[in-house]
Amino acid sequence: MNKRPLAPKFLNKLDNSLLLNRPDTWSTRFHLVFYYTIIFMIALAIICLTMPSDAREKSFYALWSGSIGVLVAIGFIVWLVYLFRFNVFKQYGSVFPGDRLKTFLLYFFIIALLSIVVYIPPVIESIKADLEYNTETIAKDCNRINELITQLEQDNVPTEWQPDTLIRTYGTNPSVGYREGVEYLDSNSFRSRVINSDSASQIQVGVVVVYSFFDLNFVNDYRINQYATYHAKTTKQLYHANYLNRNFDKVACKNELQKLLSKYSSAQNRNNYYYPYNTQYNNNYNNNSNIDVRQNILEKYRMYDLGFGIENISTRKFRLYDIRYSDHIRFIYYFSLVIALLVFVFRHSTIKAFFLSLLTAAVLSILSGLFVAILNFRETGIFILMLLYFLIFLLLAARIFKSNKRSLISGIALNAVVLMIPFIPIIIVGFYYSINTYQYYEYGNFDYNPEYYLQKQLHFTIAEISGGLILLVLIETLFKRLFRLWYASPED
Amino acid sequence: MTISPQSEILSFLAHGDTSLAIRRLLDLTLETADRQLMSEAISISRAYHVLPENEHTKLSDDKVALLSQDLLNKIDFSKQKNKPQQILVTANQISKKYSKGNFSLKPTSVDIESGKIVGVVGQNGNGKTTLLRCIAGQLAIDNGHIQYSLLEKPDHYAIKNHIVFIPQRIPRWFGMLKDNLHFSAAISGNNGEWNNLLVDFMLERFQLNNYAHLTWDRISSGYRTRFEIARILLQQPKVLILDEPLANLDINAQQTLLTDLRFLTKSSYNPMGVILTSQQLHEVEKVADTVMLIRDGVCVFRTDETTKLSSEIFFEIETVSERDEIVNALRAFEPIVKFNGGFYTISSSKGEMHIMLSELLKSGIRVTYFRDISKSTKRFF
């Protein structure tokens, strides 16, 4: 008999086999959650892949992920309800070595798997955009658009060059006296401005007049440039190659430009209240009359639509490149860890002790907040407070070894210790660095020291990993025993 | 004279107690732990206990008798040895006072032996459940000592694995009933096909097969009790503690349950000690080896200590006659006659039961019901 919708024979067989042979694993429902989540992920991926979407238009992945998140949350609640049903530990069944650890890890993986589902819409969207629009082609097309507009607008762009005097400074005091309308730059900025200028003339050592021509980069996406090997022409290059070249077929240029514009333009952003960043000025040629000329050209060719289109394409395309994977891995890890810990504690504690533990945590947070505010605690004080709480809970939980009765306070303390333990190494490292940082500054080390920060980062990473490992070791050695002693003890 | 199980089953079959015969046959095959024999007994039971709509497929009593005889011939009775009785739990002078409330259980002792049933009776709020919960390790005792003979230095988890307590209000089950049974069997180390066989066995033993695919909400409270007992038996506890198990059962179901408990307790496959509370004094006294009467937290009487009782006779009768007529008829015996909700409880230290009953009948008093309660806990109510 098929007990569940969409459940194939092998799943029912597996379910039955786990029920008869591995009741502890069966009661976590890992196999069912895993199967249905994978099915859901595949279905979602197919929908996202087949659903028509235009990469030039604004992405609605946040809405998608939000809706999927709600569905996942409902699925999570259903799983929690199922977890209420069967519990080997609370029915005093035979518990074998490794069982507690295994069930905790299964809870963790289930939650991590459920968390990953919300990433599917943006990832698929990104893959689709990446397949549809080649980075090199976009870079070449952007360049070609600039070339074509430069040629078509030869007679309309202002012909004068904009001068700008630059003076290189040494330290904080300029070696040359102060002059009105002159830019004083440090050597790095000075060099960069000279190299990137359209033209330059040295007046004396450290004093240069740079000349800018009307900005011929009508569309320029820095993210495309960042990832493409093809380098688009600068204004200087466009000026020499296209602006000065009068020998071209205007009709053919117009047709080619039209094709390129329709290839990339967005249809939905026409009434947008801001201009896309990739159509804005990137040089100093920006007096009012020239702005008007640029504005006219941009509007003439609907360059804002094009700008939004390319912006949307690059946002989608490079999402997977831009992402900071460590942040997301950390988010999934901690989210899964905290929820798995709550589930684990709930499954080993009484309902009363569990909810009173949460209440204790809330009350302690409020009281600690008041302490910190009233006594003006700094970072170190907060860390001391957290370590103090942990020690108190640890001492209270240790009473379970000697007690013959089930005490609510010991139960709450045990729950608190289990919930806090993976974070204790981080708190200790944080405490160490909070003391160290004050000493560091006291000796006048205000400068950024990369080695110090790298070491700090490394220590926090080690603390994060060791926190998880300590938890896993203690679940199987200490917590399992304490929960067993506490839960089974007679009540008063 | 002890009747052999084989003769007992044949006698049931001969007198048309087919259902009881099948239950005993199932018990016998369980004691062999032979999977083939158990499967055959389950098949017979299934073919006999069919749903009314499948009545035409039901095995006839004759066919059952034939198949049973055949199965009995396959059982090697010489291999079946009764395990020696042993004390499982010794509660010595245990007492309990609740921190909130005035009630306290005064020092009480009780031994629970394998294959024996201890009944605890008494009025509501007198300490029966407290005593049971103390023995089960659910309540901390203030004084005294409880020894679990089969466990060496047990923690309370091991004790609760060893002793199972079924409360009067059975906690709700979730999911399919059959899954719960498989789960209970599995957490006690009964895996694979053996798990399947044991669950099928219990379903047949308690005639629950037709309800196994239902959920908790869809069965009556009587069936809930039966499912709960089946589930607990799958966990193979050494001591079974039942708080008012008869409360939700009809008269037939009460008799069946008590008889089943009697048989299952003595099973050589998993001999258990049972302690139960009930308000059904007579029913409990019929199956229990010892009955304890608890009043105000004190054990005032136990049936294995009848020598301590006075020689007074107690009996109860039901009649339409007036109390004065009864007193006049028994005047020579100086009886004390109490009217107790439809019954007259008569006690006397100067007569014999059969003579007094004879005198009543001679005086024209129509007795529609009679019970000797001289050695029953009922005399204290």
For residue A202, the SS3 value is: strand
CB nearest to B191's CB, from A20, A85, A91: A20
Q: Contacts of residue A2 in chain B, CB cutoff 8 Å?
A: none
The two counts, helices (H) then strands (E), for chain A are: 21, 4
Pull the structure tokens for residue B96: 């309990």
- A415 pLDDT above the threshold of 80: yes
CA distance, residue A466 to nearest chain B CA (Å): 31
Angle between helices B177-186 and B192-205 (to 10 degrees): 130
In DSSP terms, A375 is beta-bridged to: none
Check if B196 contacts A (Cβ < 8 Å). yes
* Complex ipTM: 0.83
Check if A284 contacts B (Cβ < 8 Å). no
- Cα dihedral B8, B9, B10, B12 sign: positive
For residue B197, the SS3 value is: helix
In angstroms, how far is CA B295 from the centroid of its own chain? 21
Q: Contacts of residue B188 in chain A, CB cutoff 8 Å?
A: 93-94
The pLDDT assigned to A384 comes to 92
- Cα dihedral B209, B214, B215, B221 sign: negative
Cα–Cα distance for residue pair B266/B30, rounded to 1 Å = 12
CB nearest to A21's CB, from B141, B160, B191: B191
Strand B87-97 relative to strand B104-113, pairing: antiparallel
Check if A25 contacts B (Cβ < 8 Å). no
Q: Contacts of residue B183 in chain A, CB cutoff 8 Å?
A: 19, 23, 26-27, 86
Check if A351 contacts B (Cβ < 8 Å). no
CA distance, residue A70 to nearest chain B CA (Å): 25
Q: How far, CA to CA in Å, does B250 sit from each of A34, A317, B184?
A: 46, 73, 26
Q: How far, CA to CA in Å, does A437 sit from each of A427, A430, A433, A452, A456?
A: 15, 10, 6, 10, 10
The pLDDT assigned to A288 comes to 59
The pLDDT assigned to B249 comes to 81
C-alpha triplet A324, A327, A330: angle, nearest 5°: 145
Which B positions 326-345 lie with beta carbon below 8 A of chain A?
none
Q: Do A484 and B157 touch (CB under 8 A)?
A: yes
Residue A90: closest CA among chain B residues belongs to which residue? B157
Q: Contacts of residue B189 in chain A, CB cutoff 8 Å?
A: 94
* Burial category of B295 from C-beta neighbours within 10 Å (exposed 0-12, middle 13-18, buried 19 and up): middle
Angle between helices B251-265 and B18-32 (to 10 degrees): 30
Q: Which of A112-116, A235-239, B271-275 has the lowest mean pLDDT?
A: A235-239
Smallest Cα–Cα separation from A37: which of A134, A114, A130, A91?
A114
Could you tell me if B166 and B245 are in contact, meaning their C-beta atoms sit under 8 angstroms apart?
yes
- Mean pLDDT computed over every residue of chain B: 87
Q: Do A3 and B186 touch (CB under 8 A)?
A: no
Smallest Cα–Cα separation from A349: which of A427, A288, A409?
A409
Check if B216 contacts A (Cβ < 8 Å). no
* Burial category of B307 from C-beta neighbours within 10 Å (exposed 0-12, middle 13-18, buried 19 and up): exposed
B306 φ/ψ angles, rounded to the nearest 5 degrees: -65, -20
pLDDT classification of B307: cutoffs 50, 70, 90: low
Torsion angle in degrees (nearest 10) through CA of B93, B98, B104, B107: 0
CA distance, residue A468 to nearest chain B CA (Å): 28
Cα–Cα distance for residue pair B328/B335, rounded to 1 Å = 10
A·B CB contacts under 8 A = 77
Strand order in the sheet with A207-212: A183-185, A162-168, A207-212, A199-204
CA distance, residue A82 to nearest chain B CA (Å): 9
Pull the structure tokens for residue B142: 């203030």
Q: Contacts of residue A22 in chain B, CB cutoff 8 Å?
A: 186
Q: Do B183 and A489 touch (CB under 8 A)?
A: no
The pLDDT assigned to A234 comes to 85
What amino acid occupies position A28? T
Could you tell me if A139 and A228 are in contact, meaning their C-beta atoms sit under 8 angstroms apart?
yes
Q: Do B183 and A86 touch (CB under 8 A)?
A: yes
Q: Do B182 and A20 touch (CB under 8 A)?
A: yes
B337 φ/ψ angles, rounded to the nearest 5 degrees: -110, 120
Give tens-digit pLDDT for A49-93.
998 888 888 888 889 899 999 999 999 999 998 888 898 998 888
Give tens-digit pLDDT for A231-244.
888 888 888 888 88
Check if A5 contacts B (Cβ < 8 Å). no
CA distance, residue B356 to nearest chain A CA (Å): 52
pLDDT classification of A180: cutoffs 50, 70, 90: low
More confident residue, B79 or B120: B120
The most distant pair of C-alpha atoms in chain B lies apart, rounded to whole Å, by 71
Check if B214 contacts A (Cβ < 8 Å). no
- Mean pLDDT computed over every residue of chain A: 87
Place of tokens 């330290």: A171
For residue B206, the SS3 value is: coil
Cα–Cα distance for residue pair A394/A420, rounded to 1 Å = 10
Task: Tell which of A20, A406, A483 to mutate to test the B interface (max B CBs under 10 Å).
Answer: A20
The pLDDT assigned to B81 comes to 65
Mean pLDDT of A163-174: 69
Q: Do A85 and B175 touch (CB under 8 A)?
A: yes
- Letter string b/e over residues A59-83, b meaning 16 or more CB atoms within 10 A of that residue's CB: bebeebbeebeeebeebbeebeebb
pLDDT classification of A34: cutoffs 50, 70, 90: very high
Give tens-digit pLDDT for A252-310.
999 999 999 989 888 775 555 566 666 666 655 555 567 778 888 888 888 888 888 99
- Does the predicted model carry a pTM greater than 0.90? no
Pull the structure tokens for residue B333: 């015996």
Smallest Cα–Cα separation from A15: which of A84, A86, A76?
A86
Mean pLDDT of A165-181: 65
Long-range contacts of the stretch A276-280 (C-beta < 8 A, 24+)? A276/A304, A276/A307, A276/A308, A276/A310, A276/A311, A277/A307, A277/A311, A278/A219, A278/A220, A278/A221, A278/A222, A278/A307, A278/A310, A278/A311, A279/A218, A279/A219, A279/A303, A279/A304, A279/A306, A279/A307
Residues present in chain A in total: 492
In DSSP terms, B273 is beta-bridged to: B239
In angstroms, how far is CA B62 from the centroid of its own chain? 30
Cα–Cα distance for residue pair B351/B358, rounded to 1 Å = 11
Cα–Cα distance for residue pair A189/B92, rounded to 1 Å = 93
Q: Contacts of residue B161 in chain A, CB cutoff 8 Å?
A: 92-94
Angle between helices A9-21 and A30-50 (to 10 degrees): 160
Q: What percent of chain A has pLDDT over 70?
A: 90
The pLDDT assigned to A411 comes to 96
Q: Do B175 and A20 touch (CB under 8 A)?
A: no
